[in-house]
Amino acid sequence: MSDSRPAFIPQEIIRAKRDGATLGEADIAAFVAGIGAGTVTEAQVAAFAMAVFFRGMTMDERVALTRAMTASGRTLSWRDLDLPGPVLDKHSTGGVGDTVSLMLAPMVAAAGGFVPMISGRGLGHTGGTLDKLEAIPGYDATPSQERFRRTVREVGCAIIGQTADLAPADKVIYGVRDVTATVESIPLITASILSKKLAAGLDGLVMDVKTGSGAFMPAFAASRDLAESIAAVATGAGLPTVALVTAMDQPLAPAAGNALEVRIAIEHLEGGHAVSRLHGVTMALAAELLVLGRLEPDLESALGKLERVLANGRAAETFQRMVSALGGPNDLMEHPDKHLPRAPLVRPVAAREAGTVLAIDTRAIGMAVVALGGGRTRSADPVDHAVGLTGLVALGDTLEAGQPLALVHGRDEAAMAAAAAMIAGAVTVGEGGAAVGALVQARITG
């Protein structure tokens, strides 16, 4: 008598992980394939996610899950374009005033790399690269594949949003994690990030894992664990990766908000306003990519090349060409104020007392932008690209009573008052010196 039992039983895989077993590559692949085929229900995905949350995964399991999620949809290949340089990308766990992507992509492209950057929107207190770019009138963040590939080939970089056919299993798993309190699982975060990056057909990846009060994972130990997981799993899956743990204990730039951050990026690329923290993190990440892509032999040489493409205007020119190729104005770099939206109201938030800025609750600063309408708490929320904050104080700044902690840009007095109260509560001013840590707190290779 033949055995009529089905070859794939989702609950047996869930049971094995629940009980602490190590899953085989075939079981993981079958489970992920079942998500797309409809043979694995959302309830079973939720149970699997909770089992992984409590039991964890070995590195081999994480590699297998990442590969299976990558294989759940379309994967990109750039070989047919015969590009004269490596295909490189950067990903960040998100922060406040983090405008790195807008500068890094054109800088790396100007230095000889090709950067097909697939980015996300902001959620919670973190700003989204796509929201920033959509502050530029006409910019198409969801172009056709043909336009995306043409822009990468001709310009050297294109920053767009995730298409529905890249790692579609991740969309299902992430949606379940979001409503089942399993978002913080390091194996699931690792697979979620890397499945999309592996699908993008990269030759090298640099990962920016934030730590501090504005980070998704504020504690350094957890941030380091995530960085180690991503570097190991990516390299194990065939994608050479370096992960940097960088400080997010204060906003990276003195501005937060979509159009306001685009202005910061433009000023920085043109050399007129080099914000030290933003510059330092951008240079560190971009230099890693040039070495990963074998465009430069070491980090010192890479940093020198990046300084040159900033100084000679090639990085700024590349950013403008990308904006133009994706539907934005041809004179954005020359006349940003002509195109970028501005909020009608600007109000200072005054320091209540004199002293030194000792601490900043960076998450609260990000939520102040959300309160103004410049961010979202649900993925479907609309975003006001004009609102935000400028003139944000930094750790160690010395203030007199009444000096501004920030300038609030908004449309609605009530929202501005709420944001101002959040900023006032987020900045600790007192006597003594501020503890300002290193920008790059750890470097981890695969």
Catalytic positions: 89-92, 129, 177, 192, 196-197
How would DSSP label each residue in 340-387?
Answer: S---SEEEEEE-SS-EEEEEE-HHHHHHHHHHHTSS-SSTT----TT-
Cβ-contact 106, 318 below 8 angstroms: yes
Closest residue by Cα to residue 52 from 38, 39, 64 = 64
CA within 13 Å, CB half, 265: 34
DSSP string, 110-159: HTT-BEEEEE---BTTB--HHHHHTTSTT--SS--HHHHHHHHHHHSEEE
Beta bridge partners of 388: 409
From the list 119, 100, 290, 104, the residue with the least C-alpha distance to 196 is 119
Structure tokens at 227: 């960085």
Is residue 22 helix, strand or coil?
coil
Give the span between the Cα atoms of 140 and 161, in whole angstroms: 9
Helix axis angle, 168-179 to 59-70, nearest 10°: 120
Q: Are strands 204-211 and 241-247 parallel, antiparallel or unpaired?
A: parallel
CA distance 302 to 106: 15
Q: What is the Cα–Cα distance from 291 to 305, expressed in whole angstroms?
A: 11
How many Cα atoms within 13 Å fall on the side-chain side of residue 384? 18
> If you count them, how many residues does the chain have?
446
Could you tell me which of 290, 218, 211, 230 has the C-alpha nearest to residue 444? 230
Residue 295 backbone phi and psi in degrees, to 5: -85, -25
